[in-house]
Chain A
Amino acid sequence: GQQLNQSPQSMFIQEGEDVSMNCTSSSIFNTWLWYKQDPGEGPVLLIALYKAGELTSNGRLTAQFGITRKDSFLNISASIPSDVGIYFCAGSLMKAAGNKLTFGGGTRVLVKP
């Protein structure tokens, strides 16, 4: 089945730094989504990408849908403490009967001690 590999699995950030994470797939997707999950909460949608090559921003977040449709990256500029959490990529391949998301394993963002 489809698998999404996220990297890095975890990272430490210092306030003000830019951070980057990516997601690769063994098969193509029509849609890429990025979610953030805080402790004790459900994932919250950050950015949705619908076309290969698309670059989309949401505040300090920027995400791109890879040309091959098998990858996507998420950048966070000028990180702040509340950026800590788990970031998930998700891919979707629309089918006639409907749709479902396949999630990556997540990138855990932590604050440098």
Chain B
Amino acid sequence: DAGVIQSPRHEVTEMGQEVTLRCKPISGHDYLFWYRQTMMRGLELLIYFNNNVPIDDSGMPEDRFSAKMPNASFSTLKIQPSEPRDSAVYFCASSPRGGLEAFFGQGTRLTVV
């Protein structure tokens, strides 16, 4: 199994631009999570899905952030418009056991200038 696959690995964009991060979870995993990691705040859960349905999006910082999971093998996290304070590493993770054990992708390092 290839594990959780995220793209791109690195993204540099200008303030105000739209950014879309992509994730392919491990096949057969029912849960998908989006996390953000910064030095100041550590790992923060943004949103998670169960069977493609968003369950808890209380961690999404603002309306500029949105996430979708159109099918079991693909999810996106979109930031529109992006701001410099959105610069962070964004991780996608998936889980097979009712969300108890999460397997992480390699992350997307986003830099907004």
The contact of A106 among B42, B101, B105, by CB within 8 Å, is B42
Q: How many residues of A contact B (CB 8 A)?
A: 25
Question: Distance (Å) between the CB of A90 and the closest chain B CB?
Answer: 8
Q: A45: CB under 8 A from chain B?
A: yes
* CA A41 to CA B104, docked complex, whole Å: 9
Q: A101: CB under 8 A from chain B?
A: yes
Q: A33: CB under 8 A from chain B?
A: yes
Q: How many residues of B contact A (CB 8 A)?
A: 23
The contact of A98 among B50, B103, B107, by CB within 8 Å, is B50
Q: A94: CB under 8 A from chain B?
A: yes
Interface majority SS on B: helix, strand, loop or mixed?
A: strand
In contact, B43 and A88 (Cβ under 8 angstroms): yes
Question: Distance (Å) between the CB of A91 and the closest chain B CB?
Answer: 11
Within 8 A of B (CB), among A20-47: 31, 33, 35, 40-45
* CA A90 to CA B37, docked complex, whole Å: 14
The contact of B106 among A35, A41, A90, A105, by CB within 8 Å, is A41
* CA A43 to CA B42, docked complex, whole Å: 12
Interface centre among A31, A42, A90, A104 (most CB of B within 10 A): A42
Which residue numbers of B lie inside 8 Å of A, CB to CB? Answer: 4, 31, 33, 42-43, 45, 48, 50, 55-56, 91, 93, 95, 98-107
Listed by A's residue number, 11 A-B pairs whose Cβ atoms lie within 8 Å are A35-B104, A42-B93, A43-B43, A43-B91, A45-B101, A97-B50, A99-B31, A100-B33, A100-B45, A100-B48, A101-B102
Which residue numbers of A lie inside 8 Å of B, CB to CB? Answer: 31, 33, 35, 40-45, 48, 50, 88, 90, 92, 94, 97-106
